[in-house]
Chain A
């Protein structure tokens, strides 16, 4: 049973389109994250939600909108996709209140043409 699962794993789309990536964790964690990994493998935090509340919102274009319907799910919606949005997006989760580690999904590779 996958701990952190993301769908889709691959996404190829045209510039200007809108797309969503879904993430679910079955670890009972209270915090979920979206990270963006660029072509140089650099991992950048985008958003973090704790119990459905936004707690980290790094400098990300407002075309990116996270949504957390419950603490086990964190979805990422991207409007008006641009070439520079091409990257691998990782969902992760952790448990606060202690030195918990991050558990990562397998990533969603987004290619914008």
Chain B
């Protein structure tokens, strides 16, 4: 069965520190991959997406993610975290049809001054 795993339920980092959020997927083939962010009381906003090509993708707000086929991973990174990055982060995958999306359980990020 298809699955998306975000192993870290909650992460706390200091402002200015680097960040890496993990995401692993289990599918028969390489799906389309996404990272979304949800600020408190808000809907989900797309940070970045991977479809094909360069395995390092750049997104909004200074985020990037790297697709590693051998590890079935799509980890999200940011070199220097800002207090406004505190939010819930969701990894998602979509099948080739483009109309079936599956979400991980989310990682809650706390940023301390």
Whether a CB of chain A sits under 8 angstroms from the CB of B100 is yes
Whether B110 is near chain A, meaning CB under 8 Å from some CB there, is no
Report the contact-size class of chain B (Cβ under 8 Å from the partner): 20 to 34
Q: Are B98 and A98 in contact (CB under 8 A)?
A: yes
Distance in angstroms between the alpha carbons of A96 and B32 in the assembled complex: 13
Closest chain-A Cβ to B29's Cβ sits at a distance in Å of: 13
* Least distance between A7 CB and chain B CB atoms (Å): 14
- At the interface, yes or no: A99 with Cβ under 8 Å from chain B? yes
Give chain A residues whose Cβ lies under 8 Å from the Cβ of B51.
Answer: 99
Identity of the chain A residue whose Cβ is nearest the Cβ of B104 in the assembled complex: A43
Shortest CB distance B4–A (Å): 10
Measured between beta carbons, the chain B residues less than 8 angstroms from A48 are: 99-100
Among B36, B46, B97, find the residue whose CB has the most chain A CB atoms closer than 10 A. B97
**B90 is an interface residue with CB less than 8 A from chain A:** yes
List residues of chain A with CB within 8 A of the CB of B66: none
A-B contacts, 19 of them at CB < 8 A, read A4-B43, A31-B99, A33-B101, A41-B105, A41-B106, A41-B108, A45-B102, A56-B100, A94-B98, A95-B98, A96-B97, A96-B98, A99-B49, A101-B34, A101-B46, A102-B46, A102-B101, A106-B43, A107-B43
